[in-house]
Structure 1
């Protein structure tokens, strides 16, 4: 089949690579978000998908929005049979959805209908799911509600961050997306409507969502830190300034501490929660690089009245 691939971040690159390497399909173009400012100089930088497509000699389209008439005219000229999508980052209008004869097929990082939305992996970690996965489905105008072609499952490991889990799903999902294109091409695969039961939503996490509430149990604190890593990054306040929490470990063997209360030893730092304390492993003070929590504690000279949370 002739394919126009749509995607933007690094997590979409494995799927693009899988399709570029297929001997059954031809990626005739890639659609991605426009170049965005990055780094201290805020210079415009192409998306990871755009960079990979340019390396492969594939045409790259960067519409400000997929409803743009010039983009849709070029899409019709390309005459794709199907448009596979991975984390493109923009809503597709009906006028674009109708161009390819097999429609647009999305690789979504959850077992639909669970965790429909922009942040399925983060919400799976926050919820304490033991198993998640990826799904391919036919895009329609509803939010991740289209019929499903296939799924692949993935265990959520006890110490997984969202970044860890998403990396594994990106590679497992790449194979699923390629197999879905094969099945659509030879007619062996039919999409099945999603059940009405089991729908959960996974909206994009805000900075406020990532703020740690020390009155919640240690298990919840741990999930927030892992679920918000690497983005948007869990945080708290210390002496009025933001402190990012890169890694914590629940420690039920440590003596009791009040929520937010700090206890610093020679090689460890603990903080109280609504249940037992957690050990702070890695932190990042405002304007500085990540560091071991014990090194941070020695530098700031934690006193008996110091707390996290403000």
Structure 2
């Protein structure tokens, strides 16, 4: 039985009786982080009959239409793909009723589900959300968890309601946030552990042992989509906050600053508590200090060493190579 609010290590998967019928499932998801859950469901004893994903979208320099990762995976397996522009479309809902799914597991689908669609499957739509609800309800839970300095985060499986991420929770899994984690690192780990949790919840629903618990009223926080301005580095902030912002925005949307009016993307940085140890001075907020092997930048507290830097229209490169190419001598100020 999946215990609500307990980490995966404390869950026991239900024993399936010989007469139990597998759940008929339609999976809803779009980006790469949805694939571990889709693979886990496809490999389970449940019956995956179709996937729902966002329509093909332009991507890359040529802006060619590209299938979503979920659609591409389904195509390879010969699984039917449904790509409505909106889940409210009558034709889509009619097709969904004809498929008659018992449940629709969801991972990062990317569209709001209207009540008329939520009511179609017997066991509803179950969302794998990458936070410990009710913390970080919204589109960017992993980024906000890093941005705000959480030590522990996790994933939750809950029933989708019309309001944002408020439904009762079937189970959770926890994940330690490490000092060097980017949002990409953390999301990769959560997508794997969350996939196991999602299948365990589906197994429990099939066995009739699943219990969903309402979310508490306390501890609610919101995680809206990270904007381009959110990703702009504020060099006057403490070094710890600058570091968190850069890691939270890596790989997307990409932390950035400016130099000479041109935008520069930044990869993860390293703290430098005593620049004098490597023969460099303590810079002011945003000020660059450059040596042959190191590029430091000042913050509201201690200095940070730049890692990879990507100038507009250029490839990412080590900060020392970037500085050498621009013939930076130090004293330049980022963010002006």
Structure-1-length-normalised TM-score: 0.99
2:47 matches 1:16: no
Partner SS state of residue 115, structure 1: coil
Contact kept? 2:290, 2:330, Cα under 8 Å: no
Aligned positions of 1:230-249 closer than 5 A: 230-249=251-270
Cα distance, 1:39 vs. partner? Answer: 1.2
Deviations 1:46-105 (A, max 9, x none): 000001111111100000000001000000000000000000000000000000010000
Structure-2-length-normalised TM-score: 0.91
Cα distance, 1:305 vs. partner? Answer: 3.9
2:307 matches 1:287: no
Q: CA separation in 2, counterparts of 1:58 and 1:153?
A: 32
Partner SS state of residue 226, structure 1: helix
Q: CA separation in 1, counterparts of 2:108 and 2:264?
A: 30
2:290 matches 1:269: no
Contact kept? 1:247, 1:283, Cα under 8 Å: no
Which stretches in structure 1 are left out of the alignment for 5+ residues?
none
2:149 matches 1:123: no
Cα distance, 1:303 vs. partner? Answer: 3.5
Counterpart pick for 1:139 among 141, 147, 160 = 160
In structure 2, the residue matched to 1:57 is 78
In structure 1, the residue matched to 2:126 is 105
Counterpart pick for 1:256 among 269, 282, 289 = 282
Contact kept? 1:107, 1:173, Cα under 8 Å: yes
Deviations 1:165-193 (A, max 9, x none): 00000111000000010011111111000
What is the count of residue pairs matched by the alignment? 309
Q: CA separation in 1, counterparts of 2:113 and 2:35?
A: 20
Cα distance, 1:213 vs. partner? Answer: 0.5
Cα distance, 1:256 vs. partner? Answer: 2.0
Counterpart pick for 1:27 among 25, 33, 48 = 48
Q: CA separation in 2, counterparts of 1:169 and 1:160?
A: 12
Counterpart pick for 1:175 among 167, 172, 196 = 196
Aligned positions of 1:176-255 closer than 5 A: 176-254=197-275, 255=281
RMSD: 0.7
Cα distance, 1:247 vs. partner? Answer: 1.8
Which stretches in structure 2 are left out of the alignment for 5+ residues?
1-22, 276-280
